Structure 1
Amino acid sequence: MSGYECSGTRIHSRGRGHYRCAVPIIRPYRPEDRAAVTEVCVLTGDGGEDSRERWPDPDLLANIFALPYVDHEPELAFVLDDGGTAVGYVLGTADTPAFVRWFRQERLPPLADRYPLRERPATPLEQLAVVLHHPERMLVAEVADHPAHLHIDLLPAYQGAGHGRALMTAFLRALNDRGVPRVHLQMDPANTRARAFYDRMGFSGIAVEGFPDGAFMGRATTAP
């Protein structure tokens, strides 16, 4: 789906006015969605809640968990569009080891000076920078047979209405069309709402040494 038709009322969401469609649509990511994707990442980045108090530099979180994916594999990024504004997304990679190599070689160098790696990171922002500097954290032996991984986020006002399922279905279909057999994700086990969603989507827990139960989940890419 490359476009939409919308006749709705003008509302204000996240400080910006836009027209809300009667039924938001799922569509492929576009370059003009970049700022909205960053905003959704930041507003849901702390266990599903607004992350700005915890990490006052909003660009860092997005440069770890959102923007690299839309730059590296935009064909695997889909957004929930409500009147021309992305209010949710799913994005990821079909090949985690290849993504890690790209991140190390091309993505990290331009960001390293802005977010230096401290020998003794003290603040939450400095601790988050450690995550930026260690993309190899994504290479987990126990999920090697699930080569793809994903991130999915929706603004709270759009949760619980089936949009997450629609986004996930689009992503799984795209992976399956490319011959990718399985996908995994990592989550905070304390986020019980997210866990319930993944359970409904057919994900199962994968035991990973050193991580609590439920931190990693995976499933086949066949449609739910």
Structure 2
Amino acid sequence: MSPAIIRQYRPEDRAALSEICMLTGDNGGDARGVYRDQELLPDLFAAPYATLEPDLAFVLDDGGRAVGYVLGTSDTERFVRDFRAKWLPVVAERHPLPGGEPGTPDAVMTAFLHQPEMMLNPALADYPAHLHIDLLPGYQGHGHGRALLTTLFAALNKAGAEKVHLVMSTANTNARAFYDRIGFHEIAVPDPGPLTFLGRSTA
């Protein structure tokens, strides 16, 4: 097998991105048994970035297919506008907004899908870029995550974004340890709930 390489996302990677997103979508574990809608998480956390910001979408290729990815935007405010204007009309019918108070994992994420403005938080104003990174379990712990982030940081910096943030589940302690090693620090956000907000420079 050829050594894994990092390359730009290509449209034919779309199915692999969805699979990776679901296999790591439950605090780093398999989310296929958590969500009934198997396209919901990919349509929220993977596909819109690859579609709207392909220049900032990179995959880890094992020689046959994508086995990891890092995706991002250099400008969260612009991304939210594009998400509402260009992406939500494409997927809204596939993921209809649930009625009443969200009571299931699917309902919670569908409500988030229909309210992309929730990505905007005044506490994150100094960190205009944001990212998502996921690797299949067999490719974790080998330096691939660091390499993917280094690639994205360079692209973000070139795009004029000097700082980047990410949002993670506080329960995902393995991911937090990884981000700490990469140089992320916690950002104080009022009422964060079950989430942790981390940031760092792209330099």
Is the TM-score greater than 0.5? yes
Report the AA paired with residue 191 of structure 2. Answer: G
1:92 to 62, 69, 72: 72
> Any idea what SS the aligned residue of 1:187 has?
strand
123 and 192 in structure 1: CA distance in 2 versus 1, 3 angstrom threshold: closer
- Asked whether the equivalents of residues 169 and 194 of structure 2 are also in contact (C-alpha less than 8 Å), the reply is no
1:214 Cα deviation from its structure 2 partner: 6.8
Secondary structure of 1:78's partner? strand
The residue that corresponds to 2:197 in the other structure is: 216
Q: CA deviation at 1:178?
A: 1.6
TM-score (norm 2): 0.96
The answer for the alignment partner of 2:158 in structure 1 is 177
- Contact 1:205-1:213 within 8 A present in 2 as well: no
**Rg comparison, structure with higher value:** 1
Q: Are residues 1:151 and 2:132 paired? A: yes
Q: Secondary structure at the residue paired with 1:55?
A: coil
Q: Cα gap change, 1:105/1:44 in structure 2, threshold over 3 Å: closer, same or farther?
A: same
Greater mean deviation of Cα atoms: 92-101 or 118-127? 118-127
Q: Which runs of 5 or more residues in structure 1 are unaligned?
A: 1-7, 9-20
Secondary structure of the corresponding residue to residue 58 of structure 1 = coil
**Are the structure 2 counterparts of residues 108 and 214 from structure 1 closer, same or farther at C-alpha, using a change threshold of 3 Å?**
closer
For the 8 Å contact 2:74–2:160, the answer to whether it is kept is: no
The RMSD of aligned alpha carbons is 1.3
Residue 130 in structure 1 maps to residue 130 in structure 2: no
Deviation string 1:34-72 (CA, Å, 9 cap, x unpaired) is 110111001101100111111122111100000000001
Once the two structures are superposed, what CA deviation does each residue of 1:190-213 show, in whole Å capped at 9, x if it has no partner? 111100110011000001001159
Equivalents in 2 of 1:212, 1:218: separation in Å?
17
Query: Partners in 2 of 1:128 and 1:136 — Cα distance?
Result: 14
- Whether the 8 Å CA contact 1:187–1:216 is kept in 2: the answer is yes
Shift, 1:183, TM fit: 0.3
Q: Give the drift of 1:83.
A: 1.4
The aligned residue for residue 24 of structure 1 is 4
- How many corresponding residue pairs? 202
TM-score (norm 1): 0.87
Q: How far did 1:151 drift?
A: 0.1
